[in-house]
Copies of this chain bind each other. A is one copy, B any other.
């Protein structure tokens, strides 16, 4: 059995384990005051071209989201997210537990549209009876694996600035989004500098692109950056051995190693997706990164499940379900080939 359940099933890229081994006898300063952390912070600042930008490290995605949002909002503020956004349902009330309302807007292909944004913002404008709509949350790639391109991001960013709202981007799979833009000849290549220009705060996730854990939190907006470290500490997000996260990103950033790993994941997903389309199946949304959402008949699902594990996302009816197939930096191309063969085989029947 091989599985396409998620992109966090393998522990870490061997280069990271090697780097860990090489440094394990060194004494490091704690809590991010070490030299590895300093090096990675500088590397990010250089890539963005702004030496004043604040750079921190977070441990898990839920934590990165709750800390960033708590640092951004006053008690009376809410944050708008679309209904497929990770903070809308799947974080066990983590945002509300910090006292903030998540204001939910309908989504289109996993994305927040300006139109949906405008509607919920207007609905929440009768002060003092409503929370202030003070921030907007998006994730890139989205929960459905779709990618916001530069123009879409620019439109949301402009809207937020016009209405005095912060824009926050969850980057659990930001590497996959960047890689996607690099492989799409119709899109401008997305860069960290773009996100720094357009958002007030965003994060760049390591877990899903080859690290054991860890995310880089990048804060272009100086108002949010102030004393951010205390927000991390207060929510249990300051790792004693903080150098561990920096050490991993040092490997991933060197020669844009992360981009190579993410392109691999996206390529694997594209092969799976293409095989399904070729066999006459419909996708639920276009495959733009390392997640495939397809509408498959139960017969095919059951056949594939004899060799592969993956999620049935939603049962549509007795005959069809939406399935989710996720690839990663570690996905074995031979297994993808085996999967593609099975799809073809079933198509012949």
Q: Which residues of A contact B (CB under 8 A)?
A: 2-3, 5-6, 8-14, 17, 20-21, 23-31, 59-67, 70-71, 74-76, 78, 89-94, 96-102, 104, 123-124, 126-132, 207-208, 212-213, 227, 229-241, 243-244, 247, 330
Choose among B8, B76, B90, B94 the residue that contacts A240 (Cβ–Cβ < 8 A).
Answer: B8
Choose among B91, B102, B129, B237 the residue that contacts A129 (Cβ–Cβ < 8 A).
Answer: B91
A212 to B212, CA, bound (A): 11
Q: Is the CB of A70 within 8 A of B61?
A: no
Q: When A and B form their complex, which 6 residue pairs have the shortest distance between CB atoms, in order from nearest?
A: A63-B236, A128-B229, A93-B131, A8-B240, A92-B233, A9-B27
Tell me if A's interface is mostly helix, strand, loop or mixed: loop
Q: Is the CB of B93 within 8 A of A101?
A: yes
Question: Provided the pairs A21-B17, A30-B9, A227-B132 are in contact, do residues A234 and B92 lie with their beta carbons within 8 angstroms?
Answer: yes
* Number of identical protomers: 4
Q: Is the CB of B74 within 8 A of A93?
A: no
CB of A139 to closest CB in B, whole Å? 15
Contacts of A6 in B (CB 8 A): 30, 240
CB of A291 to closest CB in B, whole Å? 15
Contacts of A240 in B (CB 8 A): 6, 8, 60-61, 207-208, 213
Contacts of A102 in B (CB 8 A): 96, 101
Q: Is the CB of A2 within 8 A of B31?
A: no
29 intermolecular pairs with C-beta atoms under 8 Å apart: A8-B240, A10-B26, A11-B24, A11-B243, A11-B244, A14-B21, A21-B21, A59-B236, A60-B237, A60-B240, A61-B240, A62-B236, A63-B237, A66-B235, A67-B236, A71-B75, A75-B98, A78-B96, A89-B124, A89-B129, A92-B230, A94-B234, A96-B99, A97-B234, A127-B227, A128-B230, A128-B238, A213-B240, A235-B236
